[in-house]
Amino acid sequence: MAVAAGVIGTAILFVMSRGPRSLVTRVTAEDGFIETLSAVFYLMGCVICASRLWTSRGQPKALLVLWMFLCFLFFAEEISWFQRLFDYPTPELVRSFNAQGELNLHNLTFWSGTSPYRALETKEYDLRLLTSSATIFKVGFFTYFLALPLILRAGWGRRLTDWQAFPTVRASFLLSLCSTMLVSFALALCSREPTTKSIVETREMLYAVFIALYVWTYLTATGNAPRLREGRATR
């Protein structure tokens, strides 16, 4: 399933970089199709974790609780804490600190750094590039889905696996995720606005896809999710 997601995701990225500009701009606009899909996949991840947390017996639950919380947080941020659905006004205090005048955390002014792609074009760099919400998300995402699996595969995470029976992801999942993200970064670097923005919005949707796949395949599946035991992956 991860391989299929990677192939489809890569194809969508190329469409976003080479497709009809009017169509691409429309589907990647605020509250457009791509952004809606991001929210849907995060909601799916949250529901899957919640349902498994409710029905599981005798299994470690810390990761289920963590990802249920994170998926709900990302879902709520995507829809500005239901503001997009119910169209309620942003409190004035929040509006003054939010770059888009919305009720969310990731657009707070002190987390809204300049786009790295725009900085490369203009050669104007800002330290906020390192502390922006987008950068923090990327660091967390690739630490969890790339650095941590590699550490566990190297046998250095025994305490973690003993505490949580931490799942090890298959090589196909890692390769699909990394290759898709590398394509997205390469296409964004080779493009200009507004194409770059469309690619970035699509990548954000793909983050949600791979998170939902991880939750479904490795955190909540019974019988087929490989687990690490005593520092090694069982097969």
What is the residue type of 160? Answer: L
In this predicted structure, the answer to whether residue 110 has a pLDDT above a threshold of 90 is no
Tell me the per-residue pLDDT of 45-100, one tens digit each, with 9 for 90 and over. Answer: 999 999 988 887 655 688 889 999 999 999 999 999 998 888 888 888 888 888 88
Number of Cβ within 10 Å of residue 50's Cβ equals 16
Tell me the per-residue pLDDT of 6-49, one tens digit each, with 9 for 90 and over. Answer: 999 999 999 999 999 999 999 999 889 999 999 999 999 999 99
Structural domain count, the chain: 1
> pLDDT-based confidence at 121, cuts 50/70/90?
low
Give the predicted TM-score (pTM) of the model: 0.86
Domain that holds residue 194: 2-233
Contact assessment for residue 157 and residue 151, using Cβ atoms and an 8 Å cutoff: yes
Tell me the per-residue pLDDT of 155-201, one tens digit each, with 9 for 90 and over. Answer: 666 666 655 567 778 889 999 999 999 999 999 999 988 899 999 99
Could you identify the residue written with the tokens 């725009």? 118
In this predicted structure, the answer to whether residue 153 has a pLDDT above a threshold of 80 is no
Report which of 111, 97, 41 is spatially closest to residue 74, judged by C-alpha positions: 41
What's residue 215's pLDDT? 94
